[in-house]
Amino acid sequence: MRVKVDPLVCQGHGVCHIAVEDLYGIRDSDGRATVLLDPVPEELRAAARKSVGACPEQAITIVEDEAASPAGATTSTLALLANSRSLP
Ligand code: SF4
């Protein structure tokens, strides 16, 4: 699993850094978030998933490992797949 922060969307609130200090840093140069651990270690994966919803700008995306999900699928993609399968 990997976490990506879109630098064009991030506004530097720092909520992600407060939520998962070991995973997100805040750059001195522009005040935006940066991912410190890539890939995300097993022990931080649950917290990483929660941090997606904590970001007020929706700047964080989870990219699952290929073995765990379809190639290149993001959490948004997986949610769409799950929803489409529940339709009649
Ligand atoms: S919470 Fe979102 S907008 Fe705020 S610093 Fe983290 S990634 Fe950027």
Which domain CATH number covers 51?
A: 3.30.70.20
In total, how many domains does the chain have?
1
How does pLDDT run across 16-25, given as a tens digit for each residue?
Answer: 999 999 999 9
Q: Is 10 a pocket residue for ligand 1 (Cβ < 6 Å)? A: yes
Core vs surface per residue 23-46: b (16+ CB within 10 A) or e: bbbbeeeeebbbbeeeebeeebbe
CB of 20 within 8 A of CB of 44? Answer: yes
How does pLDDT run across 25-82, given as a tens digit for each residue?
Answer: 999 999 999 999 999 999 999 999 999 999 999 999 999 988 765 555 555 444 444 4
- The whole domain housing 77 covers 2-85
Per-residue pLDDT, 74: 57
**The Cα angle at residue 82 between residues 78 and 86, in degrees rounded to 5:** 165
CA of 78 from ligand 1 middle (Å) equals 22
> Would the pTM of this model clear 0.75, i.e. be above it?
yes
Does the pLDDT value for residue 88 go beyond 80?
no
CA of 68 from ligand 1 middle (Å) equals 26
Residue carrying structure tokens 């976490």: 3
